[in-house]
Amino acid sequence: MSGLIDRLSGRGRPSSAKTAKDRLVVVLRHDRSEISPALLETLRDEIIRVLSAHIEVDPSAVQVSLFSEGREQHLKADIPLPGATRRKRTL
């Protein structure tokens, strides 16, 4: 019942101010890192090209993003590797 009251009062959703603030943070991260969305896409394509020469990569599953920890900017590449489960070694 409290969930219904929260939804009716708007407490269950983030406010438009919070949403706008979150979007601004993303824009500022890109500005501070001086990496444009186009450059980020180029980096993603290059990473896929290089890895594809050595292993199977699903390009649609690759995600490249920027995030910050304190004053440092980080580039994160999330690249799922199909069939990369570890096999037990037999001796």
**In-domain check, residue 15:** no
Alpha-carbon distance 72 to 20, whole Å? 23
Domain total in the chain? 1
CA distance 4 to 44: 43
Structural domain range at position 70: 35-81
Question: Concatenated DSSP letters for 43-88?
Answer: HHHHHHHHHHTTS---GGG-EEEEEEETTEEEEEEE---TT-PPPP
- Judged against a pLDDT cut of 80, whether residue 75 lies above it is answered with yes
In a domain, 17, yes or no: no
The pLDDT of 10-16, averaged and rounded, is 65
Q: For residue 40, tell me if it sits in a domain.
A: yes
Q: Does residue 11 form part of some domain? A: no
Domain membership flag for residue 27: no
Mean local confidence (pLDDT), 31-60: 86
* Prediction pTM value: 0.53
Asked if residue 8 is part of any domain, the answer here is: no
Higher pLDDT, 63 or 10: 63
Percent of the chain with pLDDT over 90: 25
The SS3 call for residue 11 is coil
pLDDT (0 to 100) of residue 48: 93
Nearest Cα to Cα of residue 40 among 67, 16, 14: 67
